[in-house]
Structure 1
Amino acid sequence: MSCNDRLFPISSSQPLLSGDQIKALAKHMLSADASTTSPIESTHKYVAGYTYLGQLIAHDIVPKTRPSYFDRMTTPSLNLDSIYGDLSDQTIYFLFDNEGRFQPNSSNSYDLYRGRANEALIPDPRNDENVIVAQLHRLWQQVHNWVIEDFVAPHCRDIKARIHEAKSIVTALFHLVVIEDFLFETLEPETYNCYFSDWHEYILQFTHPLTAIPLEFSHAAFRFGHSMTRARYILNQDNTDNPVHLLSLIRQRNSGSISNEHKIDWTNFFGADAQEAAKIDLQITSGMDSIPLEGNIVYLNLMAADHARIPSGYAVLDWLNTHQKTLATDINLAQFPEVTAGAERNLRPVYDELTDNFKNRTLPLWLYVLRESALSAYPDYRFRKTRLGKVGSVIVAEVLRQSIISCYLPNGGHHPLDKKTHLEMIKQCASEPYRQIVTQYPNQKLSMSNLITFISKPKG
């Protein structure tokens, strides 16, 4: 692995967990129903939709674990290629109509466009692996169609040019949702402010596009979403009293069209009335132990990190304190509590299995990120159940910010704009659609809830 695969110039020289530990954790971390409540009341609600928005992000920039010759070329830039593909003539022919809109499903407006064998005709088949992310993919196709119909110059009859223009706008809207909604709600607040309010440059340089997604992100930190997965979901008003089990939402190649029973009312996933995601902690819902074609997600994550020699969370913490002193000071890293075992009764077998790892500071990075998120530097613990901790936030902020910036750099990098103008540049690319949406809301921010509400309004 090259240095470009790493965010930090460190790795573990030997396995952090034994084979027996990995097997035991794959059993003990799984719970019948990962908790969505906290023993301390929280004023900050982390909604269930972020779990799957994170999955959509990952599919766009992280290659498949076991890629095949037929898979698309995944790049580290968050450019929505998982939705748009390479926009070759063949791709445009299959995915778009004569006006440049994404092809609709002939039966259901909420489902993906499908072929004769009911396979989803999309660039990345991973976006049809479960009912929720499939409909989220379709939702962003509908955002594209809205942009094509209302904002792309009608005098432009070149379909390819119309699609490219719409894609640039939709991608910028997606970036703003990621920055102003997903990351705002996910990252530890001081870390978020340093990266996305002040736009300070720390580890990755603004002028250099990403050449690969760092392993610390793909094999550890960004897998925090697995902990947020609920055992059951309310999809629409018909299953309010009988939420659908996670395993019923997982799709395979022969699953066919998405049924009306599984049609999503997005107010159940984004906004004030949405159901909450599970807490980010060392507890994983039991439905994640038997993912089709994958298996036990805990086992897979720990083995992947072991194979890649991902360092411990403590090693990353020490490196930041030693080699990124400005960053450590800016985010008050020293003020964050030491990551130690907790006292939750349901996680006692997990803590017991990791006793030596806590004692010797060898806790694998993924487990460190999950445990760290249950701690808070805030005296009132308002953010305890919902946000990443400092180390996890730094990794996610560094990689996603650079993945976004890379979309706006010319070939070879070295954008002439001052670093503080990056957010304004993205807003300028989102242009009129962004302005029309955010002016409807007091905080002037773009969220998934605001976007869905706006594009769902009847015309006229």
Structure 2
Amino acid sequence: MTEQPMTEQNPPGRVLRDLSHGGTVEPTEIRNRVSRELVDVSTPFDYLFETIRDDPAAHLPADDPAAMVAALDTLGRLMVESQPPAEDPFQSGDGNSTIPAVYTYLGQFIDHDITANTDRQNDIGHVTDADLHPVPPADVIKGIRNLRVPALDLDSVYGDGPTFPDGPQTEAGSLYDGITLKLGRVALEPKPDTAQISGVRIPLQADLERDVPRGVGRKPSEANIGDARNDENLIVSQLHVAFLRFHNKTVDWVRRHEPQHTDDKAVFERARQLVRWHYQWIVINDYLATIALPGVVDQVLGEGNKLYDKRAGEVYMPLEFSVASFRFGHTMVRGAYDFNRNFGRQGHVRPSAPFGLIFLFTGKGGFSGQADTLPFNWVIEWDRFVEKDPRFPDHFSRKIDTRLAFALGEMANEIPNPAPGPDITAILKQLAVRNLRRGYQLSIPTGQAVAKVLDLVELTPEELTQGNSDELNTHLATSGFLDRTPLWYYVLKEAEVQANGNSLGELGSRIVVETLVGQVRHDPGSFLAQSPSWVPENGVLLPDGRPVLTIKDFLRFAGVLPTRP
């Protein structure tokens, strides 16, 4: 049975052109720079665990905020590993997981698709505030709004859709070429005597469109993209490119295989529906099945959501998810990547792609002011991110645990220009410090409090200190964090203790799976809402007739997964 195309239109103004991680933009500037329509369609944040929301015993102590912030800062710094040896930038000791590296950045892409605003200056404040303190939960709910719709609907890709001749001008119109999404070109075409990606039987048309129409107030080097955060690094930006290409190939597929969609508008809506449904299927049945404990996804799909439901008739974004649990992906980030045959593991002959370098050719990179397209030798080779080849353990993500790669403690790309004072700079460059501060400021409950609500056995002090340095364990004990553990840290330690870092633990799995499946369920345009029996076999198919079941299949259909000779 062929599903009918969606007829509802996206809410207007869903393009986020000016947001970046850790920004220190004043609230009035955000409202001025983000369209009025976007503010109008913003959605609520709320707390998943209402019964402990206002219980002081369920939170970190608030009687001495300055001391608690100092303790959190120290914890964040102690979570960052030392710099790996220069002779082996891939070294991760026993820190490699069994999760291919692509899932780290698929998680980042998902986050950008459903959440925006918790990390930015807003009516609540910023993580760099000198008097940072816990904000009463009721004030948090009133003070921040989600600038994304919490649904896996790819508004980060589609915005409010293309402009049709019989319809209004859309804010996202510049993203489109008719009903297909624009793609840019690769600069500096390879010459025979240069290192190049050879044997890749796909067009190397892999950069975001950067030739922005005049009059939209953008720099030539900034990507014309539905969410500026997806131009943060070369991995997530080229994953975004894969979504652009997947949509364009789906448009072609609909025209060939579903001729009942006769006009451009019908073809676009059907293609967008198929892309969204494949994406939702992959998030639930591939991504969540990979990063959660076995059985949790099937349980939530089979028995229904027990934690997450609409709140006051609205779909909302749980703060325990967005500010704590879903930030587990930060520990999966590698300090260096085997990016392609030009920048990767080649017997140490060729340079690797260290984490800082993958920011170079993006909207925040230093190179972007000199060229507006991607050099050919920085086209990603996705097989190095999706294959489960035990010969290359550094093709996998780092473990989900309480240790972060050294690069995440030196994030110079998060420092604005002109640079703030040294105290603020020290906070912004430390990802773990920012996460812990924000959790405290937004009154996120402790791991122990959440475990009690879920009727789970709490991690013991012995488990919370397992495998840690003596310095970290001393700090955990003297700060009181063994009794009241920040939820983000608790989720990471639980994964380390219960799953050896190869998936989330019980608490983390429940929050993440419940939230994402619940939000798909409550999206009226999703496959779970419109056609629960839909399976990828009823969607687009690979050239050999196989369905698109995984992110690897998705990249192959998009035409960006290299086929080696």
Q: TM-score if structure 2 supplies the norm length?
A: 0.67
**Pairwise CA distance, 1:227:** 0.5
**Structure 2 counterpart of 1:245, one-letter code:** P
- What is the distance in 1 between the residues matched to 2:313 and 2:278? 20
Q: 3-state SS of the aligned residue for 1:388? A: coil
- What is the distance in 1 between the residues matched to 2:528 and 2:160? 25
Aligned to 1:200: 304
Determine whether 1:96 maps to 2:176: yes
Q: 3-state SS of the aligned residue for 1:269? A: helix
- What is the distance in 1 between the residues matched to 2:151 and 2:292? 20
Determine whether 1:404 maps to 2:520: yes
**Pairwise CA distance, 1:445:** 7.5
Question: After the TM superposition, which residues 6-405 of structure 1 pair with which residues of structure 2 at under 5 Å, given as runs?
Answer: 6-9=47-50, 10-11=52-53, 13=56, 15-16=60-61, 18-31=68-81, 32-33=83-84, 36=92, 38=94, 45-64=98-117, 65-66=119-120, 73-87=147-161, 89=163, 90-91=170-171, 93-98=173-178, 100-107=179-186, 109-116=205-212, 117-152=220-255, 153=258, 156=261, 158-196=263-301, 198-205=302-309, 211-238=315-342, 239-241=344-346, 242-250=351-359, 251-253=362-364, 255=368, 256-273=372-389, 275-291=395-411, 292-293=413-414, 294-321=428-455, 333-334=456-457, 338=460, 340-344=463-467, 347-356=469-478, 361-376=483-498, 383-405=499-521
CA contact (8 A) 1:76 1:211 kept: yes
Do the aligned partners of residues 263 and 403 (structure 1) sit closer, same or farther apart at CA in structure 2, a change above 3 Å counting? same
CA contact (8 A) 2:541 2:548 kept: no
CA contact (8 A) 2:331 2:399 kept: yes
Q: 3-state SS of the aligned residue for 1:30? A: coil
**Pairwise CA distance, 1:219:** 0.5
Do the aligned partners of residues 94 and 156 (structure 1) sit closer, same or farther apart at CA in structure 2, a change above 3 Å counting? farther
Deviations 1:206-242 (A, max 9, x none): 8997532110001000000010000000111222233
- What is the distance in 2 between the residues matched to 1:155 and 1:88? 21
Worse overlay, 127-136 or 293-302: 293-302
Q: Percent identity?
A: 26
CA contact (8 A) 2:222 2:363 kept: no
Do the aligned partners of residues 36 and 208 (structure 1) sit closer, same or farther apart at CA in structure 2, a change above 3 Å counting? farther
Q: 3-state SS of the aligned residue for 1:46? A: strand
**Pairwise CA distance, 1:22:** 1.9
CA contact (8 A) 1:288 1:296 kept: yes
Q: 3-state SS of the aligned residue for 1:237? A: coil
**Pairwise CA distance, 1:426:** 5.2
CA contact (8 A) 2:296 2:509 kept: yes
CA contact (8 A) 1:30 1:285 kept: yes
CA contact (8 A) 2:185 2:374 kept: no
- What is the distance in 2 between the residues matched to 1:278 and 1:141? 28
CA contact (8 A) 2:60 2:446 kept: no
RMSD (CA atoms): 3.3
**Pick from 552, 555, 558: which aligns with 1:449?**
552
Do the aligned partners of residues 438 and 57 (structure 1) sit closer, same or farther apart at CA in structure 2, a change above 3 Å counting? farther
Aligned to 2:425: none
**Pairwise CA distance, 1:429:** 7.6
Structure 1 gap segments, 5+ residues each: 322-332, 377-382, 411-420
Aligned to 2:132: none
Aligned to 1:5: 46
**Structure 1 counterpart of 2:236, one-letter code:** V
**Pairwise CA distance, 1:72:** 10
**Pairwise CA distance, 1:434:** 5.0
Task: Choose 1 or 2 for highest CA Rg.
Answer: 2
Do the aligned partners of residues 15 and 111 (structure 1) sit closer, same or farther apart at CA in structure 2, a change above 3 Å counting? same
- What is the distance in 1 between the residues matched to 2:529 and 2:549? 13
**Pairwise CA distance, 1:385:** 2.4
Q: Which of the pair is proportionally richer in helix?
A: 1
Structure 2 gap segments, 5+ residues each: 1-42, 62-66, 85-89, 123-144, 164-169, 187-203, 213-219, 415-427
